[in-house]
Structure 1
Amino acid sequence: MTIWRAKDPLILASQSRARQMLLANAGLPFEAIPADIGERAVQEDSGLSAPGEIASLLACEKAAFVSSQKAGRYVVGADQTLALEARLFSKPAGRPQAAEQLRALAGNVHELHSAVAVARDGKILFSEVSVARMTMRELSGAEVRAYLDQAGAAVTTSVGAYQLEGLGVHLFERIEGDHFTILGLPLLPLLAFLRSEKLLAV
């Protein structure tokens, strides 16, 4: 017995291990097919500057791209932006840039805008953006170096140089927002949509 009612599993247009873990833990069968789109080019061509709008656009583009190649399948796209006031962050290219990002974020509140979209046959059926406010504590130079030493190459895989589900938890003093938004997939709105499509038994 499974809670998933469709004949074919979901498709997740992402290679993010955190997003895959969230779907798996929710008991949703899926296959991961990353969307081959030029994210930065799509963002620049759009002319958008609001972090939530950028995240939503990219989530929709990913879902639509993969769904146009997989007839009849439900495809989930997701994206996340990190904003410190007007500054948008990208994944750090290496340790020096990771250290710079941590110094900028330390002692400040930044926002994570996480978007999810569902497409079928190239058409967007649903999209949602959730926001989490993250307060990073003040960090000394020694603490930044110790964190980077311990975290290793993982700091280049996430915007802001941290993964809250791992060592990144040591960097924060306050979090406002749900766990799923922070991990990059607003799961509750997604489940509500899938339920509305009669795709879930629960």
Structure 2
Amino acid sequence: MSNLNIILASGSESRRKLLAGAGIDAVCIKPNVDEDVAKVSFRAEKMRVSDQAMRLAEMKAVKVSQKHGGLVIGGDQMLNLDGEAMDKPVDLADAANHLRQFSGKAHKLETAIVIAEDGVPVWRHLVAPTLTVRPLTEDFIAAYLEAAGPQILNTVGAYMLEGIGAQLFSRIEGDYFSILGLPLLPLLDYLRVRGVITS
């Protein structure tokens, strides 16, 4: 289906599964970008959350592209609550605090994707689905975290929409694939235009 080596600059199982499900055979290579250091710098510059996500996606794509060649897909997703970036919870207690902050509010998932070739970004896309969390009781938060388990700490919002995390929301506006971390439909459109996959 593809005439060019496609690399996913990510260790994200969710992104890998989305590509594989769409018939895209991508090699996964972790970019080893120090995201924590980058975020400190971005936030010191008071960079918008969407711009932080885009910069991280670009850093990942470019770094892997410089080393491995091919067409490299880099992605990043940041949770934007009232204009502030929130990071992945460090433990279940932190996850509970996240959920208390989300309760009864809407937040955005700033979801960025960048494609790089020969170490140069050639395509960018940003989308920001909006998710509204219903009011959550303390009993629900405790039961939810017990059911979800420690794997929830791998997600920026302490939820996995494709599972029990669906119970958190009263409204979702945006593309399902993007919420899972990859704007798949625009990516497939670009790959068809580029001639990487059959149109």
Identity of aligned residues (%): 38
| Aligned residue runs from structure 1 range 1-202, under 5 A | 3-6=1-4, 8=5, 10-46=6-42, 47-71=45-69, 73-202=70-199
Q: TM-score, normalised on structure 2?
A: 0.95
Could you list the runs of 5+ residues in structure 2 that have no partner in the other structure? Answer: none
Distance in 2 (CA, whole Å) between partners of 1:87 and 1:59 is: 18
Specify the SS of the correspondent of 2:157. Answer: helix
Aligned AA (1:68):
Q
Kindly indicate whether the alpha-carbon contact (under 8 Å) linking 2:49 and 2:84 is maintained by their aligned counterparts in 1: no
Could you list the runs of 5+ residues in structure 1 that have no partner in the other structure? Answer: none
Specify the SS of the correspondent of 1:138. Answer: coil
Measured on the aligned residues, the alpha-carbon RMSD in Å equals 1.1
Distance in 2 (CA, whole Å) between partners of 1:155 and 1:199 is: 34
- Per the TM alignment, residue 40 of structure 1 is displaced from its structure 2 partner at its CA by 2.1
- Per the TM alignment, residue 179 of structure 1 is displaced from its structure 2 partner at its CA by 0.6
Kindly indicate whether the alpha-carbon contact (under 8 Å) linking 2:58 and 2:113 is maintained by their aligned counterparts in 1: yes
Distance in 2 (CA, whole Å) between partners of 1:198 and 1:189 is: 14
Distance in 2 (CA, whole Å) between partners of 1:184 and 1:50 is: 19
Aligned AA (1:32):
C
Specify the SS of the correspondent of 1:4. Answer: coil
Kindly indicate whether the alpha-carbon contact (under 8 Å) linking 1:5 and 1:201 is maintained by their aligned counterparts in 2: no
Specify the SS of the correspondent of 2:126. Answer: strand
Distance in 1 (CA, whole Å) between partners of 2:47 and 2:163 is: 30
Cα distance per residue 1:114-146 (max 9 Å; x no partner): 000101111001111001000001110000000
Cα distance per residue 1:41-89 (max 9 Å; x no partner): 1233342521111111000000000010013x00000000101102211
Cα distance per residue 1:26-48 (max 9 Å; x no partner): 10111110111111212333425
Distance in 1 (CA, whole Å) between partners of 2:40 and 2:124 is: 21
Aligned AA (1:150):
A
Distance in 2 (CA, whole Å) between partners of 1:42 and 1:107 is: 31
Distance in 2 (CA, whole Å) between partners of 1:187 and 1:116 is: 10
Distance in 2 (CA, whole Å) between partners of 1:177 and 1:85 is: 18
Distance in 1 (CA, whole Å) between partners of 2:63 and 2:128 is: 25
Distance in 1 (CA, whole Å) between partners of 2:163 and 2:63 is: 31
- Per the TM alignment, residue 149 of structure 1 is displaced from its structure 2 partner at its CA by 0.5
Count of aligned pairs: 197
- Per the TM alignment, residue 12 of structure 1 is displaced from its structure 2 partner at its CA by 0.4
Distance in 1 (CA, whole Å) between partners of 2:24 and 2:83 is: 36
